[in-house]
Amino acid sequence: MARVAIDPVTRIEGHLRVEVEVENGVVTDAWASGGLYRGMETVLVGRQPTDAFYISQRICGVCPISHGHASTMGSEAALGIKIPNNARIIRNIIEGAETLHSHILWFYTLTALDYVDVVSALSANIADTYALAAAAGTSTADFGAIQKRLKGFVEGGQLSIFTNGYWGHSAMKLPAELNLIAVAHYLEALEMQAEAAQIIAVMGGKFPHFMTSLPGGTVWIPTEDKLAEVLFRYKNVADWINNTMIPDTLAIAPFYLDAAGYGGGVKNYLSWGVFDDKSMDPKKRVLQRGMLTGGLTPSDPDPLKVKEYIDHSWYKSGNNLAPTAGETVADFTKYSTEKDGKYSWVKAPRYDEKPMEVGPLARMLVAYVGGNAGVKGLVDSTLATLSKAAGATLGPAVLMSLLGRVAARNLEAAYVAGEMGKWINELVAAVKGGDSSYFVEPAKDSGTGAGLWEAPRGALGHWVSVKGGKIDRYQVITPSTWDMSPRDAKGVRGPLEEALVGSPVADVTKPLEALRIVHSFDP
């Protein structure tokens, strides 16, 4: 038996150590250790709710929009605010732009190098590369020039942004030509991320850490010129997702169909829902609220059943507490994965005592079984393509795997891109119609509330208590708190830890397969 530590895990937002035990080429146990204490809950006590909008965004540099919105929604619930419809639309567009930015960033910049052998692209035949791109229906580039640049990096001994990959690993299965296509699109993805970020900058003042979705609505007032710029950049990103990202996904997936057989983890899924419709009913969101426990039958989650455990986390707070009564009192001792040891700054949230996976896979499964026609169409067409490659019929249950987790995030990007066009058109119509309501003042200065929302990474909750206009208590459960959680009071592993168990590792000195599972959660 070998004990393998991936520390630090790179190509993520934050600080993470993953340790696995490998026996006969298979992971038999795993521990995920969050290495960063942020303490935002402590920082926010005594401040105004508006401050929480700005400060809580600093929890993450990739999904600050979601933190800002969840914080604002919690404050609005506490202060009796119902935002104008225009503010709802604007928030949806900004949230959608962040989702597209995050998913493009994740697939190409953070995850693709687990599957794409960059050095192999040097042996690609250029004519065959163009032919493969045409057959896959994906976009082309100057593949010859890109290969020449890459060759210069390698011959000079400097792979630049491609340094330290597991090139030549036996688990890398793409042909050289597909590797070259992916490298070309990796570079294009950097530009597409910038396009999505500029949508947020126009509407939010800047990105990351936008300025405009304060408690009460929005302080951004759209004009036809500003909306024209938003629409232009949106179309660029949406076209690229549909004509490059999705075809790339469908071209790469058939080479890794074995990933449908492991990495599923706890197979319990939670989504608070995201993108409000006009009713502002959290049960009627565009990507709906719901949960699955051990199957494909959905149910509605009760936020009151969420509790947090600290048995293996570096805190001396109360244990088994609901977020409304939560405490964040740091108490670092030592790193220990022994039975009673503590090994993470991440708490262990549970829903009705169950670990829950959150993220795009959870949202897409909940939407699929909940009858979302757009999601169902995307998932069914993808399953049909994969079934053809596998030579067998694959149903939605196959998504409960490493392969499904990767595919779900990219399919969600295509779905959100389609919905964003509708919201932009809706806002254009409101501006042309003279609707100028964007912001309302608080109805009171005290109360409690929760902003239950979705970041691109998954279910996000900000629980807020306000007294006399000042924050009295604040608790946050981020997506990575759910997914990277350590063991709970019963010794039950968190979703990432459980997903790692049973996965293959061909070379313990280069645990690529385990790293793929880690990255699939976008820690």
Question: How do residues 430-485 score in pLDDT, each as one tens digit?
Answer: 999 999 999 999 999 999 999 999 999 999 999 999 999 999 999 999 999 999 99
Can you tell me the distance from the alpha carbon of 96 to that of 64, in angstroms, rounded to the nearest whole number? 13
For position 120, what pLDDT does the model report?
95
Q: What are phi and psi of 96, to 5 degrees?
A: -65, -40
- Name the more confident of 155 and 507: 507
Can you tell me the distance from the alpha carbon of 221 to that of 218, in angstroms, rounded to the nearest whole number? 8
18 part of a folded domain = yes
Question: How do residues 322-372 score in pLDDT, each as one tens digit?
Answer: 999 999 999 999 999 999 999 999 999 999 999 999 999 999 999 999 999
Type of residue at 79? L
Question: How do residues 54-107 score in pLDDT, each as one tens digit?
Answer: 999 999 999 999 999 999 999 999 999 999 999 999 999 999 999 999 999 999
Question: How do residues 222-274 score in pLDDT, each as one tens digit?
Answer: 999 999 999 999 999 999 999 999 999 999 999 999 999 999 999 999 999 99
Q: How does residue 158 score in pLDDT terms, banded at 50, 70 and 90?
A: confident
Same domain, 32 and 172: no
Same domain, 240 and 97: yes
Which of 390, 417, 440 terminates a domain? The answer is 440
206, 210, 213, 215: CA torsion to nearest 10: -140
Counting residues of the chain whose pLDDT is more than 90, the rounded percentage is 95
Same domain, 424 and 521: no
For position 26, what pLDDT does the model report?
98
- pLDDT at residue 509 is higher than 80: yes
User: Per residue in 166-205, is it b (16+ CB within 10 Å) or e — as a string?
Assistant: bbeeebbebbbbbbbbbbbbbebbeebbebbbbbbbbbbe
Q: Which two tokens stand for residue 513?
A: 């397969």
User: Per residue in 216-246, is it b (16+ CB within 10 Å) or e — as a string?
Assistant: bbbebebeeeebeebbebbebbbebbeebbb
Domain holding 109, by residue range, is 82-264+400-440
For position 235, what pLDDT does the model report?
98
Can you tell me the distance from the alpha carbon of 256 to that of 115, in angstroms, rounded to the nearest whole number? 9
H-only helix segments in 205-298 = 224-240, 246-252
Asked whether the beta carbons of 16 and 522 are under 8 A apart, the reply is no
Question: CA nearest 27: which of 521, 493, 522?
Answer: 493
Can you tell me the distance from the alpha carbon of 103 to that of 411, in angstroms, rounded to the nearest whole number? 10
For position 154, what pLDDT does the model report?
82
Same domain, 213 and 93: yes
CATH of the domain at 167: 1.10.645.10
Same domain, 247 and 116: yes
Same domain, 241 and 92: yes
Can you tell me the distance from the alpha carbon of 344 to that of 355, in angstroms, rounded to the nearest whole number? 16
Type of residue at 465? S
244 part of a folded domain = yes
Domain total for the chain? 2
H-only helix segments in 112-215 = 126-136, 143-155, 176-204
Same domain, 107 and 212: yes
**pLDDT, averaged across the chain:** 96
Can you tell me the distance from the alpha carbon of 358 to that of 363, in angstroms, rounded to the nearest whole number? 8
Q: How does residue 403 score in pLDDT terms, banded at 50, 70 and 90?
A: very high
285 part of a folded domain = no
- pLDDT at residue 130 is higher than 90: yes
For position 162, what pLDDT does the model report?
77
Same domain, 222 and 94: yes
Question: How do residues 379-396 score in pLDDT, each as one tens digit?
Answer: 999 999 999 999 999 999
Same domain, 104 and 219: yes
458 part of a folded domain = no
Can you tell me the distance from the alpha carbon of 79 to that of 215, in angstroms, rounded to the nearest whole number? 9
Q: What is the pTM of this model?
A: 0.97
Hey, which bits of 257-344 come out as E strands? 268-271, 290-293, 298-299, 306-309
Same domain, 93 and 224: yes
Where is 380: in which H helix or E strand? Answer: helix 373-390
491 part of a folded domain = no
327 part of a folded domain = no
For position 155, what pLDDT does the model report?
83
355 part of a folded domain = no
